[in-house]
Amino acid sequence: MQQSAVPELAHTHTNPIHWLATATALAGVVALSSVVQPDSATAAQAPGTAPKSAPAAAPPATTGVEFPLECGPVKIVVAKKATGDLDGDGRPETVAVAHCDAGMSTPPDGVYVLTQGTGDAHARVVATLVDPEERQKVTGLAVRASAVRADLLGYSSPDVPTCCPDVTERAKWQWDNGTFVRSTPSEARSV
């Protein structure tokens, strides 16, 4: 029988307990790495200079807003909302889609731009993009690149029942020289 030049070591033989210990240690490392994260990176500032950006303002909330809707005894429902800086002043506005909470039928939507003035308790409506009297329903709403985009359902005539809008259109509003200008978005969309 030949003798080995290296003595037999216990750790060179694997047992199921060794695999279990290795798996447990690896799971612990993975779990710990998901909890412990490095601090955010910061750029070095030249002496005497301060960062120029101010903290981002919160977008206006829709609670407590007096929407220009006549709903009688039923309440107003905010169905959709989107936020973004629409006028380039560095403060976000909120675009809200609101309608009367009708128990039946399809109530028309209004699309409103809200802003929060300094010292105001609640946001206020500063523009109406879609008036409920236009009898339209908003199915999609987004704010991208300082523009409001909406997918609208409407009616080809007053004879079409409110349950069944039969006209689809896309609209875009962009702030231009103190007012919102409506246009049709250029991107094509297949149905």
pTM, whole model, 2 decimals? 0.67
Closest CA to 89 of 144, 146, 142, 150: 146
- In the prediction, which pLDDT does 31 show? 55
First to last CA, the chain: 82
d(CA 106, CA 35): 48
How many Å apart are CA 21 and CA 143, to the nearest integer?
A: 52
Predicted pLDDT of residue 14: 62
pLDDT score of 65: 93
Tell me, what's the pLDDT at 10?
Answer: 47
The segments of the chain whose pLDDT lies below 50 read 1-11, 40-45, 49-54, 188-191
Cβ within 8 Å of residue 149, ≥6 positions away: 140, 141, 142, 143, 170, 171, 172, 185
- At residue 21, the pLDDT reads 61
Q: So where are the chain's domains?
A: 76-183
Distance CA 140, CA 149 (A): 8
The reported pLDDT for the residue numbered 41 is: 42
pLDDT for 86: 95
